[in-house]
């Protein structure tokens, strides 16, 4: 494990830099809010404190606050984001016990480089006997950790960055000592929430000074950063308790944040805040607790949304039970964060300056949920992968007991995101938001022209040695192009084969166009009888790395659509000494590299095209949002282009007579289009239903080229459709 900053190094760097330019070098991160107990307590943002029943669809409007913004001008932590926090939470009780030696050993053998330790815990006590005036006056110091400076020195010796977790406004200790600091009921009695917890009034300035003194104690003990948890109102503190409406609560919390940020920066202590994950895109939740995501980011070096999948209401991010989808939920939450703050975690161009987004991840199993899954090594890895895949690079894991599957934190470095995950949408229906590089340019340079060469390349480069065993596909398909009454250009596609399993695949290559397409998983040795693996097998995670090369229809974000169809005619290759390319793989290439039909045609002209089977050839239907539709087909050793708005499995470039059953689908398409029968997406789906093959149509898809979306029905179930993006 890389050594971070030891305490002595931190002091030397800070002193020397300050004497030169007023800037210091520090780094660190924070953790999600939760209960402080050692037992399997539910984290702060869990269901007993769920902000609202459902996650509001509205997004919080970013606020500007010139006063707060000015606090960021003198920034002594210009390089704060350079250190990438990978942390875990450790309770004060564990930190003060002999178990801490094992924790340190586990960290030494992992990629973890940070611990978040309780200082002011959920009981309102300080976990060591600090000596500041107000701490001594209240008597809140304890011997839970007998020698905090010595513990921090030891952690620094092992290169571990140490963050102090301070439970801020929820405080059951203070009512006996300073009841005047607390929230009160209308009758003057101290307010207690439904869990019998009392809360500091966030507008009380004496309490602010008390929290600031604890921050000073943390600095003197040697902590590298202070993280303020429960910087909010109780969800049960309504206007009769607080005397404030929702905006008033937000303003009060924002004012405290600005104060504590300035106070901590005066002593060169980085500041981070824990916040509810749901406030990122919900005005309702933000108003209930007084946390506005954007505004708090203006007064923080780091902000840590608690985006535990178990804490989201059913339906969040399109999932009935978000806890069952750790990767997708974390990815969705982090993408929402970027929409509000406008950047990833390490950029320096957002209004709040250098704020780092460092989420809390779920390291516990939400047994209180009816639909939940055990969170262990794989679930942690999926969440961490989602953080990286969303463009962020720091994270902390929360488990109130401090017990972690440490194997989840080995050999997992930033950027190691090539492994893929998938979501099961229904029986035989999957979705994958593909992340990472699938090496298209390298593949194209390999001049692959047989399925054997394809399998060898995939096995060596993408699938970790798991064989793809791609075979020849012979789908009896139908496609058409139409324009609806709103001017949207539609690509309709039936994929008729043998009830194969399918995957909707979204790709976002760093050097190409984003696309949505559908994969026949049997092409990759998955799912069907005769295939080696099912989606339940561990090898499936390796094989789906090759899914970008197995799409048979799709569109890209430039408005180009493409579909692959078999031709009932033998394929002959005209070797013109061009580069070689399997016809299958041309789908991936044109969607990544071409913005319209003409670019796609020009691209295909650069290759000698090979069929995976000498018994059949293929053609590709190309469409774009400019209103163009054409068919490229390879027949008798020649390449032909036929401009057409419909295609099935018959040759269009030559007058070939087919049996009635083979030519019927094209004829039906031709008639419907000539009669102007397709005026909406619903009409398009009805036409696909009309030409479907009973017992053979695997999916019917209507792609919207103008709006980069697809509506798809599977297995001839036209009562149930899926839309992407949702």
- Taking the complete model, does pTM exceed 0.75, yes or no? no
> Smallest Cα–Cα separation from 72: which of 296, 339, 226, 280?
296
**Cβ-Cβ contacts under 8 Å for 445 (sequence gap 6 or more):** none
Region of 214 (left: φ > 0; alpha: ψ -120 to 50; beta: rest) is alpha
Report the candidate in 418, 444, 420 with the shortest Cα–Cα distance to residue 432.
Answer: 420
222 band by pLDDT with thresholds 50, 70 and 90: very high
Tens-digit pLDDT profile for residues 272-320: 999 999 999 899 999 999 999 999 999 999 999 999 999 999 999 988 9
Strand partners, 184: 190
Mean pLDDT, residues 126-155: 96
Query: Comparing C-alpha atoms, which of 29, 623, 666, 6 is closest to residue 305?
Result: 29
Angle, CA 328 vertex, CA 322 and CA 329 arms, to 5° = 45
> Cβ contacts of residue 210 below 8 Å, gap of 6+?
134, 138, 178, 181
The band of 79, judged by pLDDT with boundaries at 50, 70 and 90, is low
C-alpha distances out from residue 115 to 29, 40, 149, 221, 612, Å:
9, 19, 15, 15, 54
CA atoms within 13 A on the CB side of 487: 1
Give the number of other Cβ atoms within 10 Å of residue 90's Cβ: 24
pLDDT above 80 (res 33): no
* pLDDT tens, position by position, 631-676: 998 887 788 999 999 999 888 887 655 455 556 788 889 899 999 9
Q: Which residues contact 243 (CB under 8 A, 6 or more apart)?
A: none
Q: How far apart are CA 515 and CA 696, in angstroms?
A: 26
What's the confidence (pLDDT) of residue 40?
31
CA–CA separation, 83 and 161 (whole Å): 10
Q: Is the torsion defined by CA of 433, 439, 445, 447 positive or negative?
A: negative
Q: Closest Cα to residue 395, out of 343, 334, 338, 349?
A: 334
Q: What is the spatial distance between Cα 601 and Cα 174, in angstroms, rounded to a whole number? A: 74
| Six token digits for residue 598 | 């003409």
The average confidence (pLDDT) of the chain is 83
Does residue 68 register a pLDDT over 80? no
One-character DSSP codes across 363-425: -S--TTSSS----SHHHHHHHHHHHHHTT---EEEE-TT----GGGGSS--TT---S---EEE
- CATH superfamily of the 7-415 domain: Glycosidases (3.20.20.80)
DSSP-derived letter for residue 560 is E
Separation of alpha carbons 273 and 255, rounded Å? 14
504: β partners? 431, 518
Specify whether the CB–CB gap between 397 and 359 falls below 8 A: no
- Rounded Cα distance between 609 and 288, Å, is 61
Q: Which of 75-89, 156-170, 595-609 is least confident?
A: 75-89
Sorted by where each begins, the domain ranges of the chain are 7-415, 429-724
- Give the whole-angstrom CA distance, residue 606 versus residue 120: 67
3-state secondary structure 264-327: HHHCCCCEEEEEEHHHHCCHHHHHHHCCCHHHHHCCCCEEEEECCHHHCCCCHHHCCCHHHCHH
Flag whether pLDDT at 30 surpasses 60. Answer: no
pLDDT band at 597 (very low <50, low <70, confident <90, very high): very high
Containing 189, the helix (H) or strand (E) segment is none
Indicate the SS3 state at residue 681: helix
678/685 Cα distance (integer angstroms): 9
Which residues, including other chains, have CB under 8 Å from residue 372's CB and lie 6 or more apart?
Answer: 310, 321, 323, 324, 365, 366
Tell me the average pLDDT across 345-367: 72
Q: Assign 222 to helix, strand or coil.
A: coil
Report strand pairing: 607-610 vs 579-582: parallel
DSSP designation for 43: P
- Spatial strand order in the sheet of 502-507: 423-426, 429-434, 502-507, 515-520, 551-556, 560-567, 617-624, 629-635, 638-642
Q: Phi/psi at 574 (nearest 5 deg)?
A: -100, 105
Distance CA(197)–CA(122), nearest Å, equals 10
198-217 pLDDT per residue, tens: 999 999 999 999 999 999 99
Task: For residue 725, say if its preceding peptide bond is cis, omega within 30 degrees of 0.
Answer: yes
**CATH number, span 429-724:** 3.60.60.10
How are strands ordered across the β-sheet holding 697-704?
Answer: 646-647, 478-483, 489-496, 697-704, 709-714, 722-724
List the beta bridge partners of residue 431: 423, 504
Least confident of 62-76, 136-150, 255-269, 508-522: 62-76
Confidence check: pLDDT of 23 > 50:
no
pLDDT in tens, 368-417: 999 999 999 989 988 998 888 787 889 999 999 999 999 999 865 444 34
Which of 309, 327, 310, 339 shows the shortest CA–CA distance to 433? 327
Strands (E), 80-221: 86-90, 114-120, 161-167
Contact, 163 vs 114, CB < 8 A? yes
CB 506 within 8 A of CB 514: yes
Proportion of the chain above pLDDT 90, given as a percent: 60
382 near 326, Cβ under 8 Å? yes
Give CA–CA dist 335/283, Å, rounded: 17
For residue 88, the cross-strand partners are 115, 397
Other CB atoms within 10 Å distance of the CB of residue 3: 12
Residue 226 has pLDDT above 50, yes or no: yes
């Amino acid at each position: 494990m890389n050594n971070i900053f030891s305490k002595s190094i931190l002091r030397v760097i800070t002193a020397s830099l300050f004497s030169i330019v007023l800037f210091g070098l520090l780094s660190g991160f924070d953790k999600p809010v939760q209960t402080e107990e050692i037992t399997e307590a539910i984290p702060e943002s869990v269901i007993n404190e769920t902000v609202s029943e459902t996650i509001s669809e509205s997004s919080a409007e970013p606020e500007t606050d010139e006063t707060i913004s000015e606090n960021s001008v003198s920034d002594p932590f210009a390089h704060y984001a350079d250190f990438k926090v990978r942390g875990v939470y450790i309770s004060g009780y564990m930190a003060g016990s002999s178990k801490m030696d094992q924790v340190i050993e586990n960290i030494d053998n992992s990629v973890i480089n940070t611990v978040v330790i309780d200082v002011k815990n959920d009981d309102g006590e300080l976990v060591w006997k600090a000596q500041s005036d107000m701490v001594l006056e209240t008597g809140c110091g304890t011997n839970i950790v007998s020698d905090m400076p010595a513990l921090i020195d030891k952690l620094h010796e092992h290169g571990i960055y140490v963050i102090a977790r301070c439970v801020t406004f929820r405080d059951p200790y203070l009512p006996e000592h300073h009841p005047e600091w607390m929230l009160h009921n209308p009758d003057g009695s101290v307010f207690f929430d439904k869990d019998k917890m009392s809360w500091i009034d966030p507008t009380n300035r004496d309490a602010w000074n008390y929290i600031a003194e604890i921050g000073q104690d943390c600095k003197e003990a040697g902590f590298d950063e202070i993280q303020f948890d429960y910087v909010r109102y109780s969800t049960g503190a309504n206007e009769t308790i607080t005397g404030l409406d929702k905006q008033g609560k937000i303003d009060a919390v924002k004012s405290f944040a600005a104060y504590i940020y300035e106070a901590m920066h005066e002593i060169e202590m980085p500041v981070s805040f824990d916040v509810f994950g749901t406030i990122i895109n919900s005005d309702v939740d933000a108003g209930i607790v007084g946390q506005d995501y954007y505004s708090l980011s203006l007064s923080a070096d780091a902000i840590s949304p608690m985006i535990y999948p178990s804490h989201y209401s059913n339906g969040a991010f399109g999932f009935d039970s978000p806890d069952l989808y750790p990767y997708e939920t974390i990815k969705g939450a982090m993408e929402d964060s970027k929409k509000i703050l406008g950047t990833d975690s390490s950029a320096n161009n957002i209004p709040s300056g250098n704020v780092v987004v460092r989420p809390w991840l779920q390291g516990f199993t939400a047994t209180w949920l009816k639909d939940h899954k055990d969170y262990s090594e794989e679930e942690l890895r999926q969440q961490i992968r989602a953080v990286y895949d969303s463009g962020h690079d720091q994270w902390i894991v929360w488990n109130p007991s401090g017990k972690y599957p440490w194997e989840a934190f080995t050999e997992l470095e930033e950027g190691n995101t090539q492994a893929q995950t998938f979501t099961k949408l229904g029986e035989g229906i999957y979705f994958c938001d593909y992340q990472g590089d699938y090496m298209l340019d390298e593949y194209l340079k390999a001049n692959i022209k047989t399925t054997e060469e394809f399998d060898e390349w995939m096995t060596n480069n993408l699938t970790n040695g798991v064989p793809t065993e791609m075979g020849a596909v012979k789908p009896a398909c139908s496609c058409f192009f139409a324009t609806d009454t709103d001017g949207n250009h539609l690509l309709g596609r039936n994929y008729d084969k043998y009830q194969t399993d399918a995957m909707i695949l979204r790709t976002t290559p760093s050097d190409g166009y984003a696309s949505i397409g559908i994969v026949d998983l049997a092409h990759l040795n998955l799912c069907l009888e005769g295939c080696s693996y099912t989606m339940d097998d561990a090898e499936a995670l390796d094989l789906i790395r090759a899914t970008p090369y197995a799409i048979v229809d799709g569109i890209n974000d430039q408005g180009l659509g493409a579909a692959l169809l078999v031709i009932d005619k033998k394929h002959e290759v005209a070797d013109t000494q061009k580069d070689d390319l399997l016809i299958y793989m041309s789908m991936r290439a044109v969607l990544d590299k071409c913005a319209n039909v003409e670019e796609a045609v020009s691209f295909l002209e650069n290759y000698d095209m090979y069929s995976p089977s000498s018994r059949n050839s293929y053609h590709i239907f190309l469409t774009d949002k400019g209103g163009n539709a054409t068919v490229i087909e390879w027949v008798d050793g020649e390449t032909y282009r036929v401009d057409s708005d419909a295609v099935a499995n018959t040759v269009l470039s030559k007058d070939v007579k087919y049996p009635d059953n083979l030519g019927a689908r094209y004829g039906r398409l031709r008639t419907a289009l000539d009669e102007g029968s397709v005026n909406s997406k619903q009409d398009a789906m009805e036409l696909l239903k009309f030409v479907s093959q009973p017992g053979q149509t695997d999916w019917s898809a209507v792609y919207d080229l103008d709006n980069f979306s697809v509506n798809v029905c599977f297995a001839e179930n036209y009562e149930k459709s899926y839309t992407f993006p949702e």
